[in-house]
Amino acid sequence: GAIYGTIVATAVVAGLGERHSVAPSRALWILLASGLFFWAAHVYATLLAARIQERRRTKRADVRGAASQDWPLFQATVPLAVPLLLGWLGILGDRTALAVATAVGVVTLVALGIGFARREGYGLAGIVAAASINAGVGLFIIGLKVALR
């Protein structure tokens, strides 16, 4: 969930960075709302799929379990929200806040790739491959942003 959430959050922020009229405060709320929406949609889809597959009613424990399991989708917005908050507070300029938030998304993807590879016991080549793949996804998002200018 964290990698998927980070990809979505990075794409949202990168897209907002192309709009000169988007203030960091508005970008922050759009980012958080998008994260909440994707989290809720994923929880709903998980519960619906389980209900259809298992042919039984959904219980509160199922909802709590799915909501908890998918929470990293929303949590992934937090690192990207920090530069936007700093922009809202006037510590960073508007464009800088959006650019830094996008960069934080890419760096977070790399860090998640490294963490995943290490947790799975991969050697150096596997760690570099996982980090590179995640970096490639983040850079692809930035490339789309540049191409669509």
- What phi, psi does 20 have (nearest 5°)? -65, -20
Give the pLDDT of residue 81. Answer: 97
Q: Answer whether 0.75 is exceeded by the pTM.
A: yes
Report the amino acid identity of residue 121. Answer: G
Give residue-wise pLDDT tens across range 12-45.
Answer: 998 887 666 788 999 999 999 999 999 999 999 9
Q: List, for the chain, all residue ranges whose pLDDT scores fall below the cut of 70.
A: 18-20, 147-149
